[in-house]
Amino acid sequence: MSTPFCLIYGASYAPFFQGSMYLWACPSGQRPLCDQSGRIQSILPHIVEVFNSCHSLLMPDSANPDEDKNSVLRSAIWLFVALNCLFLLTTTGRVRTMDEVMTYFTTSSLALHGTTAVPQAQSAGLFYGKLDINGVARAAYPVGQPLVSVPWFLVGDYILLNLPEVPPQAHDPVMAFAVTCSNATITAFIGALAYLLFCAMGLTLRASLYTTLAMIFGTQLFAYSGWYFSEPLTTALLLAATLALFDGTLDLPLPISRVILAGAILGAAVWVRPTQIISVAIFAFALLIREWPRGNKQAVFTTLNLGFSSGFFVLAYLVNNKRLFGSSFDFGYPSTAEFGHQLNGFTTPFFTGFTGFLFSPGKSIFLFAPVIIAAIFALPLLWKRDRGLATLAAAMPIASLLFYSKYAQWEGGYCYGPRYFVPALALLCISLAPVFAGASSKLKTLAIIGVAAGTIINLIGLSTSFLENQATRGIYYDSGLNYVWSHSSITAQAFLFWKYLIEGDNTSIGLGFDRWFVFLHKAGVGNGVIIALAIIPIIGLILSFNMYRKNK
């Protein structure tokens, strides 16, 4: 494996192996394991510290004396399994937008050839990216999500394609189904992380469960578990960093190993979406607020450690840009997309995006994640518990609003709802923890109503393909490829769902009911295989639900 590829590979997985940074950054002939100078001995204690921090994240100290570590961890595991099985049943299992297609091509190249080059995208006429300095086609998106998706691709390639009743013409749809399932698992992992965080904050298992479900089903996380966008992975990394830094132990100094681990995780998020550099700054500010009561020097020192550890990954990303495109700040995006439309930059009038995110029927954060209304009112309650965590929960959506309101493609391209806000609104829902802990019955009622409404909106989004409606010129984009502010994905997809429910779905792949079992059947996959693929998660959901209840 070449050194550049080692660099990319390590930068995506090293959040959990911070001590190995020096190992994979060195040329292959100069590994410190062969160094007799004793340098490796100097970093071993730090490696042990970071691995201990990983262990403490998985088994946090609950502030509730009635909940022991093992009980919390078992509950989190069974919750993860249950959510994963549920999302495997509800996933669309299909790639449709250029974001998803290019990520799929990169995943395929990594799994089969160990490279991020995507010549197959050019051959298929579906290329969105740039040619590197050697004339090789590269996707416009970083390598983080494709790296994480490789195991699902391999499952599809080695297992699903070899099942009986899977004809050759169905191979591409089956592989798309396999990689899309990665977001089902990642979203379930988000649920487990949130559950551990809430338990560490002192909530009971029941209250932690309710708050976790409110975060997932009250926001768009549920819907995005069924598509192949990068938002679930970004959210998972941000939530993991939150658990490392804000675990409810305000009376104890924050171990430096956990700060380094959180910084590495945040740095890895930049390898998923470069815009997450903003999140690094917000986390640093929130950490400064948390640590300030211990003394300003200690707070600044801790915050700088977060910046240095995350900065390592940011620097590696910039170096990789330089290697591929000749400039550290060339991120691989083409200057224009279809019909010369500029997608990147900050050319949108601020109040167009600002009012769109707040009030438009197709991108309003309050409409697509109604539970955040209760979360906003609950911020003062969280402030009383943990000022740093409250700062993080409030600052993330504010920063997203200020940043994306000017963004050229502020609407997020072809998608359902305000896609760019998925990670920020999930973190905002952390403020619901004191609500479900019993701090306010009125806010709890408001939150439950928001979760119910959010779940319905999510289900509408998953019922049919958003692209079926949006791809028609003049409906979602006007003739100049400007977003139509008055468009409503909710009403459009509800209409499509009702249409196919009444008239039946006799459409080709890409139209009609947007369910994996529907389009696999249309692709020619046998009913026996489809039934088997459905029965496995159904059984897993029932068993894991029962095991969770027993563990309580």
CA proximity to 273, closest of 12, 518, 551:
12
| pLDDT computed for residue 64 by the predictor | 53
- State which amino acid sits at residue 41: Q
State the helix-helix crossing angle for 231-245 and 256-270, rounded to 10 degrees: 170
CA proximity to 412, closest of 363, 467, 479, 366:
363
Residues 237-289: tens digit of each pLDDT = 999 999 999 977 776 778 899 999 999 999 999 999 999 999 999 999 999 99
C-beta of residue 475 within 8 angstroms of C-beta of residue 411: no
| pLDDT classification of 145: cutoffs 50, 70, 90 | very high
Residues 42-64: tens digit of each pLDDT = 444 544 454 455 545 555 555 55
Start-end of H helices in 272-295:
277-291
- State which amino acid sits at residue 320: N
CA proximity to 146, closest of 222, 230, 84, 267:
230
| pLDDT computed for residue 247 by the predictor | 77
Is the Cα dihedral 358, 271, 22, 55 positive or negative? positive
Higher pLDDT, 344 or 488: 488
Mean pLDDT to the nearest integer, 216-234: 97
What does the DSSP 8-state code read for residue 138? Answer: E
Mean pLDDT to the nearest integer, 388-404: 97
d(CA 151, CA 137): 23
C-beta of residue 320 within 8 angstroms of C-beta of residue 4: yes
Residues 281-298: tens digit of each pLDDT = 999 999 999 999 888 888
Q: Determine if the pTM surpasses 0.85.
A: yes
- Taking CA atoms, 167 is separated from 154, 170, 458, 530, in Å, by 18, 5, 33, 13
